[in-house]
Amino acid sequence: MTAKRVLLIISGGIAAYKSLELIRLFRADGIEVSPVMTRAAEQFVTPLSVAALAGSPVHRDLFDLTSEAEMGHIQLSRSADLIVVVPATANLMANMANGAATDMATTLLLATDTPVLIAPAMNVRMWTHAATQRNLATLRGDGITVIGPDDGDMACGEFGPGRMSEPKVIFAAAKAMLRDGPLLGRRILVTSGPTHEPIDPVRYIANRSSGTQGTAIAEALMSLGAEVVFVTGPADAPRPIGAEVVEVETARQMAAAVDAALPCDAAVFCAAVADWHVVDAGDSKIKKDAAGTLPSFALAENPDILATVSQGDKRPALVVGFAAETDDVIANATAKRLRKGCDWIVANDVSPATGIMGGAQNAAVLISADGADPWPLMSKADTAHKLATRIAEALQ
């Protein structure tokens, strides 16, 4: 597979130092980096540091006679698979929005039809200024992908939106735009997190799912080139950058979102969906009875999303369910696979002693028509990559 190439434009802001970590992440993943620095960027990081980490010379001068004899800025702008701008300052965004070509960076950005990802970073008042917001709207309308900024403390001492996204977040967004691999062209649905079933406006029925495994699976599938639709309940885990994220709260909302996401090539049902909902959830908070009488609730069964999709007309080629068990894990998961009609079940022991539910590790067993395949204890990220690889093999 041909290595992907990123043209990394570093502009003049305090967040420029984070570009060094971003270069490291790209190189560690086998992505080639061609760095471009504005003159202002050199006030924050040195060209020598950037060149050493990138393993490539830094492009700085638009009027370099050696490279421009071969129209170097045109070649640079079109030889990359993706252009990433970190940080995207207010000034650079203004130049981009208005088509100004004042230096090497802005000329490259004007002379390209390559996808562009920018990570804005600036003072909170600059970010919220009407001019910056107009420029932002123009850039988005032009097809520029924008990641961030985040809320946080700034070098100027203020707090608010304007802090550049962290390098690992920018890297994940760039990877999503550079999709390649055995799942390229495949659309995969992933459900994740818990569902919350209201009792009243304050209380709800839920479980302990953090959504960590679901996010890891979505990221692993995207790393192999897949387009991912990520339907999630109110999970604690961050949402996968680059996926189409659909937020829901209840099981019935999740069922509707899943149906709307079909058809797709494969579906991974990792969400820990509540089995029941309260029939008549209160519109007002249920108060304690002075006599100490306990309230009672009538429960109704929630839609069986896994069975509905596995047995439905819009069934994907591969349907993967999850089984969180505390007893007789393999036997219960095997019975569940047959009952639901799915192709695989990823089963795990979520007894309190294992720490798997809501934890960072997983010890899964892949149940299929061929039997049970136990996997060793590993991180949830490694579990996700193992599952994604198996999915890619199955779809091929």
> Which sequence positions are flagged as catalytic?
156
pLDDT, tens only, 300-334: 999 999 999 999 999 999 999 999 888 888 999 99
Instruction: Please state, in angstroms and rounded to a whole number, the distance separating the CA atoms of residues 306 and 324.
Output: 14
DSSP-derived secondary structure letter, 360: S
178 known member of a binding site: no
Query: Quick one: 195 and 164 in the same domain?
Result: no
Q: Sign of the C-alpha dihedral, residues 30, 240, 384, 222?
A: negative
For the chain, what is the largest distance between any 2 Cα atoms, rounded to a whole number of angstroms? 91
Residue after which a domain boundary falls, among 124, 145, 177: 177
Query: Quick one: 19 and 122 in the same domain?
Result: yes
Residue 182, in any domain of the structure = no
Query: Quick one: 206 and 281 in the same domain?
Result: yes
Query: Quick one: 172 and 62 in the same domain?
Result: yes
340 known member of a binding site: yes
**Owning domain of residue 168:** 5-177
Give me the pLDDT at residue 344, please: 97
Instruction: Please state, in angstroms and rounded to a whole number, the distance separating the CA atoms of residues 354 and 247.
Output: 29
Residue 88, in any domain of the structure = yes
Sites in the chain below the pLDDT cut of 50: 1, 65, 68-71
Give me the pLDDT at residue 357, please: 65
Residue 235, in any domain of the structure = yes
Query: Quick one: 161 and 20 in the same domain?
Result: yes
386 known member of a binding site: no
322 known member of a binding site: yes
Q: What angle do CA 381, 241, 76 make, to 5 degrees?
A: 110
Give me the pLDDT at residue 207, please: 83
CATH number at residue 267: 3.40.50.10300
Contact 161, 127 (CB under 8 A): yes
Query: Quick one: 266 and 241 in the same domain?
Result: yes
